[in-house]
Amino acid sequence: MTNTSRLVSHLVILLRAAVGALMVSAVLLNFANVIGRYVFARPFIWAEEVMQFLNVWAVMLGAAVITRDRTHLRMDAFYNLLSRPARRAVDAFINLLAVAVSAYVIVQSLAMIRMLALTGQRSVIARLPMAVIYLSVPLGFALGGYFVVLWFHRLFRGELAKGPVQPDRPLEPV
């Protein structure tokens, strides 16, 4: 296993743990809010907003993981009819498009984050800095883009040419 492979494996483990922790935190916060609301008649007024922000972070970090595992939803009826070289060409086109979209979203979201940071905008109820909330977008797209670039690296090294293409199976650890 190369150093890059180890780094990516550790990164994926860290991302999965972070997504799990964010989701568990949202569930626990929701549970505490239910108890506060119905048992003590004192709900946490900021809980709904914070749960939304936790979910946004979980989705963006989780999107990077499913990009790496190649488990995004896709229409594969036509794809499965293609020959192996045609599948590889379709994969390359889709991944090139993914890198381009990721770069665009990163640039645009960083501009938005800069504006939010300069204006000091905060969330309405919890008063959290919105720049921190929106930081999940470029981070998620950057990580997803990184995993796609690693796919191209493996393709050019000939590591993806071995064996049949299996679109429903995630790639082995990089």
| pLDDT tens-place string over residues 109-156 | 999 999 999 999 999 999 999 999 999 999 999 999 999 999 888 888
The answer to whether residue 167 is domain-embedded is: no
The answer to whether residue 32 is domain-embedded is: yes
Q: Domain residues for 50? A: 3-156
State pTM to two decimals.
0.85
The answer to whether residue 70 is domain-embedded is: yes
Q: What is the tally of structural domains in the chain?
A: 1
Tell me the residue type at 81: L
| pLDDT tens-place string over residues 79-104 | 889 998 898 899 899 999 999 999 99
